[in-house]
Structure 1
């Protein structure tokens, strides 16, 4: 019989199936979202300037790292939203477990209305959706060639490779220095540019990581469901 404390911890569990069919479960106690994490920090600086013109506050340093409530690490099929101006971001997620470090696909769903008041607040307003499959990080021979894509309502919104983002090898020492490189920590990578011709405010999301060396694909999909109108 579970105790009340065990029931609370159980809500944070995430389970991944590896390519060999084995499963790894970890209980998330630390969830972090990297931001402004492009490998070219000159491009990042230009992006910060563009966002500032839209009213999004600039970070004090780049790359940034935002703590997120750990229960927001979810392997969900649906994401609740309070209004129609929320959208996902295609990312990889680093998952540290008792059985090694995993890499999986993720989508950082973000409240764009709240983002202009504080990026950290917007990251805590919706789940970080994780795929149900994962690779062992050490099994990826050429991480930079892995393709990262997102689709909203079937339209391709983001398309690039992990060579555009800071690597797991960059972030692992950062976690180590902060005492966070331990089982139960999940870190999302930051995202790629979006196609400005595509409306990001859709209701159906898919994110995929594709390893061209093997053809293996790790993906996730979910729908956005608007909450009922509030009373009061």
Structure 2
């Protein structure tokens, strides 16, 4: 597929050692409503309905996101005051090998009431800079843990906490994506869809995310601050 690309550096953390790779990203794919069970899907639908977001027309769903919304930075700028992060696992194919990392599908919740697709495009997709080979974790995939914390007005709380068993399995997610996308997936980050929040959505100032592998005893972490651009204007 043609179009513009942007370059990202990742550190591949293998059991045998580490290496740095450079990946050309031309766009991204964000899965939504991708819980493994109907109960998990309904949890996310219900928390969004509280904000006036209508339920999906199909489950799961897939959104294409432009390459310029990919970032590994530790600060993002957003247009509105009502935005929030969503911890997800992220799949990435490079040079014939699949990798996994952690990411956040940051979303404009006010805009989401009118268009889920545009709410995803309005904010960055945040990626950690470390990758694990899928072959090293596939046998204990469901034991891998996702945890996110948020800080709002100086108070830090646990925000999301579940294992990958809550989301579509690796192979099922890939089959779904391939059923929708006809061309090569090399260099296309695939965001998995998120897990439910513990106590509802929080429009935070700071978002931390961690993917923990309890078997190989390692983790991938990333954090970022959120700056609404309205803060640039002087208050009267």
TM-score normalised to structure 2 length: 0.87
Q: Which residue of 2 aligns with 1:194?
A: 197
The answer on 1:68 being equivalent to 2:71 is no
In structure 2, which of residues 220, 223, 232 is the aligned counterpart of residue 221 of structure 1? 223
Bigger strand fraction:
2
Find the aligned partners of 1:53 and 1:125 in 2 and give their Cα distance.
Answer: 21
Find the aligned partners of 1:204 and 1:229 in 2 and give their Cα distance.
Answer: 20
In structure 2, which of residues 115, 118, 123 is the aligned counterpart of residue 121 of structure 1? 118
Find the aligned partners of 1:79 and 1:44 in 2 and give their Cα distance.
Answer: 28
Q: Which residue of 2 aligns with 1:14?
A: 8
The answer on 1:89 being equivalent to 2:83 is no
Q: 3-state DSSP class of the match of 2:202?
A: coil
Q: Which runs of 4+ in 1 moved over 4 A?
A: none
Find the aligned partners of 2:133 and 2:56 in 1 and give their Cα distance.
Answer: 32
TM-score normalised to structure 1 length: 0.88
Find the aligned partners of 2:92 and 2:149 in 1 and give their Cα distance.
Answer: 23
* TM-superposition CA deviations, 1:40-79 (whole Å, max 9, x none): 0244246435533531022110011111112212111101
- CA RMSD for the aligned pairs? 2.1
Q: Which residue of 1 aligns with 2:52?
A: 55
Q: 3-state DSSP class of the match of 1:129?
A: strand
How many residues get paired?
222
Q: Which residue of 1 aligns with 2:208?
A: 206
Q: 3-state DSSP class of the match of 1:121?
A: helix
Q: 3-state DSSP class of the match of 2:173?
A: helix
Q: Which runs of 5+ in 1 are unaligned?
A: 1-5
Find the aligned partners of 2:7 and 2:126 in 1 and give their Cα distance.
Answer: 13
The answer on 1:103 being equivalent to 2:100 is yes
